[in-house]
Structure 1
Amino acid sequence: MSTPPTGPLCTRDSIATQLGAAGLRRGDTVLVHSSLSSLGWVCGGAATVVSALLDVLGEAGTLVTPAQSADNSDPASWRNPPVPESWWAEIRASMPPYDPRTTPSTGVGVIPEAVRNRPGAVRSAHPQTSFAAIGARAAEVVAEHALDSQLGERSPLARLAAMDARVLLLGVGFDSCTAFHLAEYRLPAPPEADNSFAITTPRGRSWTTVRDVVLDDGDFAELGAAFAVARPVELGRVGGAVTRLFSLADAVAFAEVWLAARRGRNDVDGRVAP
């Protein structure tokens, strides 16, 4: 005998009403991080949540979600799980190249996949850390995403900060707040490392390596807790999910100061000084 579903019951109308009560406004440009399961039982699943978000934002608004595809990376860095070293060369030679139209997003939940597959959605060009967007400013958001700027100044994140976009955490915590990564790029002399992936060039598939900032979200939950105390964060509820809504640029500015103080300088042996 199967277990009956647990609530609350969420519909397109109820989600839209509660998003509005949580502070989302018509015309907003909003970066959404989400967990479908946190909402309860959603009639129509992830597509319903996307429809409700677009209902609230209206024709002048823009919905943005991460559409990451982290599996397109060097197998030497894989840890969950690792693969045998004897496989690495063949994986590098045969990894499917990133295609913004067909490469699925991974590790960001099912709502971003529903956005990515929505008619009219557009997607940025980075093979690992792309963003999908729908709405009035969607093309502007995803227009440039440099291969050596996963989440930096030549990525949609910097553009969203300049647009006065907001972040909506829908049933997830600050550890999912991608915007904080932009602050890592703005730290003095951030650590860098090689980053590899498969892309399509005019001459065909290519396994490509670039130099980029090392991303580290290990302290983002603590950073977010400090941010929520110091800066305006609107709390709400949609179904069973707690929502947090705040300025993306404000979050980045706060994170720059907090991370600089917390992480300190890099010692020559790679350790972080207190």
Structure 2
Amino acid sequence: MTPSPARPHTRASLAAQLRDLGVRPGGTVLVHASLRPLGFLCGGPEAVLLALRDVLGPAGTVVVPAHTPDNSDPAEWSNPPVPADWWPVIRDGMPGFDPAVTPSRFMGALAELVRTWPGALRSDHPYVSFAALGPAAAGIVADHGRADMLGEASPLARLYDLDADVLLLGVDHGSNTSLHLAEYRQPAPPRQRCGAAVLTADGGREWVWWDDVRLDEECFARLGADLEATGAVRLGPVGDGTGRLMRQRAAVDFAVEWLARPRGTEEA
């Protein structure tokens, strides 16, 4: 006999699960989500966003990554790489980033819904922007430094200042962007040249370069497993999937120490 499918999930049932998980009314939460593992959602990403806003209330703020990873130096692309003779074509032809219209890419349906929701604000970084919806949004996305893209001049640091939460829905810590802030807080992180297409003051576009920290999330799954072992992460059902909720400040502080250990001794 074919087993019955799981029940559909609604705005109300999702909100109940998020409350049980510990989402704080009036809080600020950075959400990374893959909706497929959550099962059948009545209303899709809209049901998830509305449920989050129901739990957070009018004083709460939702933040999502609105990154545009294809607006970056094609010489660094690896998934998939492109031929070297394409690089100048891409640098010359990539549309300049416009925070009002450039879609996020590979961030998921929930992130794109937040970006386009009435009243949402977006930071103006051409590669790793964030979108936010709620009373704290303006302070979070303002003055996103191009050459400090996920460091102290980024929305991640503003979230740290606010003692925000991180909510992972249907994804693990490999998608936990806040852990990159810990890379910036290492004594001498490796650096690289970065590039992206931006708009110019006269309405044109240009390719710009800057020096920044070389991001590396390869170890984030292991880092996250060690973080969960400390009890700092609450796990619970959201839809048919798993939600992970943590204080961003606690996760970043743990990651700063974890990354400082010699490789191979992280679990010591």
The equivalent of 2:135 in structure 1 is 136
Which residue identity is paired with 1:115?
A: V
Kindly indicate whether residue 16 of structure 2 is the aligned counterpart of residue 22 of structure 1. Answer: no
The equivalent of 2:116 in structure 1 is 117
Q: Give CA deviations for 1:138-157 in whole Å, capped at 9, x if unaligned.
A: 11110121111121110000
Which residue identity is paired with 1:237?
A: P
Which residue identity is paired with 2:232?
A: P
Which residue identity is paired with 1:246?
A: M
Deviates more, 1:200-209 or 1:134-143: 200-209
Structure 1 residue 104, shift from structure 2 partner: 1.1
Give the share of equivalent positions with the same residue, in percent. 53
Q: Give CA deviations for 1:172-191 in whole Å, capped at 9, x if unaligned.
A: 11111111000000001111
Kindly indicate whether residue 265 of structure 2 is the aligned counterpart of residue 242 of structure 1. Answer: no
Structure 2: where are the runs of 5+ without partners? none
Structure 1 residue 91, shift from structure 2 partner: 1.3
The equivalent of 2:229 in structure 1 is 229
Deviates more, 1:238-247 or 1:250-259: 238-247
Structure 1 residue 135, shift from structure 2 partner: 0.5
Which residue identity is paired with 1:96?
A: P
Change (3 A) 1:262 1:231: farther
Change (3 A) 1:135 1:107: same
The equivalent of 1:165 in structure 2 is 164
Which residue identity is paired with 1:259?
A: L
Mapped to 1, the partners of 2:44 and 2:206 lie a distance apart of 37
The equivalent of 1:257 in structure 2 is 257
The equivalent of 2:145 in structure 1 is 146
Mapped to 2, the partners of 1:6 and 1:82 lie a distance apart of 40
The equivalent of 2:66 in structure 1 is 67
The equivalent of 2:85 in structure 1 is 86
3-state DSSP of counterpart to 2:261:
helix
Structure 1 residue 206, shift from structure 2 partner: 1.3
The equivalent of 1:220 in structure 2 is 220
The equivalent of 1:205 in structure 2 is 205
3-state DSSP of counterpart to 2:119:
coil
Aligned pairs for 1:27-42 within 5 A = 27-42=26-41
How many residue pairs were aligned?
A: 260
Change (3 A) 1:199 1:263: farther
The equivalent of 1:271 in structure 2 is none
3-state DSSP of counterpart to 2:210:
strand
Which residue identity is paired with 2:64?
A: T
Which residue identity is paired with 1:99?
A: D
Structure 1 residue 85, shift from structure 2 partner: 1.8
Mapped to 2, the partners of 1:208 and 1:7 lie a distance apart of 49
Mapped to 2, the partners of 1:263 and 1:206 lie a distance apart of 40
Change (3 A) 1:6 1:143: farther
Structure 1: where are the runs of 5+ without partners? 265-274
Mapped to 2, the partners of 1:244 and 1:86 lie a distance apart of 43
The equivalent of 1:270 in structure 2 is none
Structure 1 residue 232, shift from structure 2 partner: 2.0
The equivalent of 1:269 in structure 2 is none
Mapped to 1, the partners of 2:221 and 2:22 lie a distance apart of 22
3-state DSSP of counterpart to 2:16:
helix
3-state DSSP of counterpart to 1:64:
strand
The equivalent of 1:96 in structure 2 is 95
TM-score for the superposition, normalised by structure 1: 0.92
TM-score for the superposition, normalised by structure 2: 0.94
Structure 1 residue 231, shift from structure 2 partner: 4.2
The equivalent of 1:268 in structure 2 is none
Change (3 A) 1:110 1:153: same
Which residue identity is paired with 2:225?
A: A
Structure 1 residue 241, shift from structure 2 partner: 1.3
Structure 1 residue 236, shift from structure 2 partner: 1.4
The equivalent of 1:55 in structure 2 is 54
Q: Does structure 2 retain, via aligned residues, the 8 Å contact 1:164–1:247?
A: yes
Mapped to 2, the partners of 1:257 and 1:251 lie a distance apart of 10
Which residue identity is paired with 2:255?
A: A
Kindly indicate whether residue 151 of structure 2 is the aligned counterpart of residue 126 of structure 1. Answer: no
